[in-house]
Amino acid sequence: MTFKAMRVDQAEGGQTVALVDFDEAELMEGDVTVRVSHSTVNYKDGLALTGKAPVVRRWPMIPGIDFAGVVERSSHPGWTAGDKVVLNGWGLGETHLGGYAEKARVKGDWLVRLPEGMGPAEAMAIGTAGFTAMLSVMALERHGLTPDRGQAIVTGAAGGVGSVAVALLAKLGWQVVAATGRPAEADYLKELGASEVIDRAELAVRPRPLAKERWAAGVDSVGSAPLANLLSMIRYGGAVAACGLAAGMDLPASVAPFILRSVSLLGIDSVMCPPPRRREAWARLAADLDRAKLKAMTRTVALAEVEAVGRAILQGQVRGRVVVEIG
Ligand code: NDP
């Protein structure tokens, strides 16, 4: 028995990527087999597909760090055939065969039930990027931040995490400032709910320990100098949820915002996020993300196109979210 899958193999001086017929017997261990209908292209998928960073830890690999589908077979007590499920993280597409395939075999403990009223294509329009945006917003809320404290800034705003963060924060009543390097996307960002769009170049300057206080909260998917600048500009008692590294992994900041303004830096990881918080985040996404806006930020591609989209996302050329239609 075989199924269609995107397969990455190690090759001399690099790697090969090809759409192949994958043997079901080669699937890895797991107590649930899922018929995958949709996946997505996230930044990390771009890294895996191009080999630009060591995301893939096992060969051969089926990339794809998330999927939605229907349970085909299960020996896990929580799942039966026909259940609609979503999976993101837990090493999918890194250490465990991933979502760019018609089938996946995984641990039942990794799965989350698709929220009532949310289809698999919508779940993947959200995907790991949207899930991470939700985790970021939840972290700001746990910190006690509310829209009456001031504006929220979102960096990498026209990207996947950024687009969902803008839409979520706007729906929750925040005045959202969107920082982007693509001024042509200003109307798009305003349609998602941004009240102001700024040039990301403003945040690429050499960071000072402290600058004028501007925003109460931030969602940052880019890291490096922009994150350091954000910290220096956050208002007293505010916080930034840091979830990405699109501008770089470094952080050329000082402790000044922490010790002089009680600013907090909140770390966000989606991969090992514990199950209760996962369920909470998916439930919040079902309730708090405007579906029309989600549709407006999403385009759909075929499995054969993921490699090209993976290259484009690393160059900052993908707007919003990309769903991969599989079966
Ligand atoms: P996207 O490529 O869709 O978004 C990234 C955006 O960052 C781009 O669209 C661009 O936005 C901006 N950007 C790109 N390069 C630069 C640069 N040199 N300087 C400043 N801004 C830049 O990727 P995703 O939304 O899928 O992921 C965003 C980041 O979040 C990635 O680093 C990813 O690894 C990380 N991530 C982390 C997760 C976690 O668990 N912590 C989970 C998911 C994602 P614009 O054009 O608007 O300026």
Question: Domain limits of the chain?
Answer: 2-114+297-325, 128-267
Distance 315 CA to ligand 1 centre (A): 10
Homologous superfamily of domain range 2-114+297-325: Medium-chain alcohol dehydrogenases, catalytic domain (3.90.180.10)
- Please, which pLDDT band fits residue 13 given cuts at 50, 70 and 90? confident
Over residues 292-304, mean pLDDT:
98
Please state whether beta strands 264-267 and 234-242 pair in parallel, antiparallel, or not at all (unpaired).
Answer: parallel
In this predicted structure, what is the pLDDT of residue 238? 98
Kindly state the tokens that stand for 85: 């499920």
pLDDT, tens digit, 9 for 90 and up, residues 107-163: 999 999 999 999 999 999 999 999 999 999 999 999 999 999 999 999 999 999 999
**Pocket lining: 157 vs ligand 1, CB cutoff 6 Å:** yes
Residue having the nearest C-alpha atom to atom 31 of ligand 1: 244
Over residues 188-201, mean pLDDT:
98
**Pocket lining: 166 vs ligand 1, CB cutoff 6 Å:** no
CATH number of this structure's domain 128-267, picked from the four choices 3.40.50.720, 3.40.50.2000, 2.60.120.200, 3.20.20.70 = 3.40.50.720
- Please, which pLDDT band fits residue 319 given cuts at 50, 70 and 90? very high
**Pocket lining: 310 vs ligand 1, CB cutoff 6 Å:** no
In this predicted structure, what is the pLDDT of residue 327? 84
pTM reported for the whole predicted model: 0.98
Over residues 308-327, mean pLDDT:
96
Q: Which atom of ligand 1 is nearest to the CA of 89?
A: 40
CA distance 192 to 163: 7
CA distance 79 to 73: 9
- Cis check for the bond before 63: say yes or no (omega within 30 of 0): no
Region of poorest pLDDT, from 11-15, 177-181, 198-202, 229-233: 11-15
Q: Which residues pair with 22 in a beta bridge?
A: 3
pLDDT(274) > 90: yes
Instruction: Assess: ipTM above 0.95.
Output: yes
- Please, which pLDDT band fits residue 53 given cuts at 50, 70 and 90? very high
Let me know if the fold of 2-114+297-325 is the same as that of 128-267: no
In this predicted structure, what is the pLDDT of residue 237? 98
In this predicted structure, what is the pLDDT of residue 66? 98
Over residues 313-325, mean pLDDT:
97
**Pocket lining: 312 vs ligand 1, CB cutoff 6 Å:** no
Residue having the nearest C-alpha atom to atom 44 of ligand 1: 129
Residue pointed to by tokens 């079901």? 24
pLDDT(201) > 90: yes
Instruction: Establish how many alpha carbons lie within 13 A of residue 256's alpha carbon, considering only the half-sphere containing its beta carbon.
Output: 18
Phi, psi of 6 (to 5 degrees): -90, 125
